[in-house]
Chain A
Amino acid sequence: DAGVIQSPRHEVTEMGQEVTLRCKPISGHDYLFWYRQTMMRGLELLIYFNNNVPIDDSGMPEDRFSAKMPNASFSTLKIQPSEPRDSAVYFCASLGGLAAPGEQFFGPGTRLTVL
């Protein structure tokens, strides 16, 4: 398996633009997590899905952020409109149902820069 795949790896956009980040989890994993990492705040959980259903979105900063998982092999995180303070590295991670909660497999991340 190729592991968790994220695209794009880097995104530079201007304030006010819509940004869509994409994630393909490891096949067979039924949990999918979206995280944001910054120097100031470290790694923060934004939302997670179980069997394509959003379970906890309490970490989503505000209504500008939305996430979907239309099927077991694809998820998106959308920011509309984007703001400079959204600049961060966004990670997607997936987890198999029988694994311990910490044994998440992380993707390489998308580095987002909002100018």
Chain B
Amino acid sequence: GESVGLHLPTLSVQEGDNSIINCAYSNSASDYFIWYKQESGKGPQFIIDIRSNMDKRQGQRVTVLLNKTVKHLSLQIAATQPGDSAVYFCAAGGGADGLTFGKGTHLIIQP
């Protein structure tokens, strides 16, 4: 099966700086990866996804990078804002398997 882990439980960044949140997965057969944002007291919210035939995908102020060689996934948030403060977690899956979720990195924005 798949296991997904985040490198840091907490990440503190200055407002305006770029944030990078990292994630590792174990199953090389996983071909679909997602990043979610979860604000306090709310359900997870889809941010961006990427399939294994891509190395990079960009959204609004966010970029996801996929390195299949080392089974590593990262989320980059440009010009971090106070509203970006949340728990971010990745999920991996593929084929008949459902998604496996990591536990999350709490992003703290320093003023």
Contact = CB atoms under 8 A, between A and B. Distances in A.
B89 A42 contact: yes
B109 interface: no
B12 interface: no
Nearest to B46: A103
Contacts of A101: 32, 34, 93, 99
Interface string B92-107: 0100001101111000
B43 A93 contact: yes
Contacts of B46: 102-105
Interface string B39-56: 001111110010000000
Contacts of A45: 98-99
B46 to A, nearest CB: 5
B73 interface: no
Interface residues of B, number: 19
Given A93-B43, A102-B34, A102-B99, A43 B49 contact: no
Interface of B: 32, 34, 36, 41-46, 49, 89, 91, 93, 98-99, 101-104
11 contacts: A42-B103, A45-B99, A56-B98, A100-B32, A101-B93, A102-B34, A102-B36, A102-B46, A106-B42, A108-B41, A109-B42
Q: Which 4 A-B pairs have the closest CB atoms?
A: A106-B43, A102-B34, A42-B103, A43-B101
Interface of A: 4, 42-45, 48, 56, 59, 91, 93, 100-109
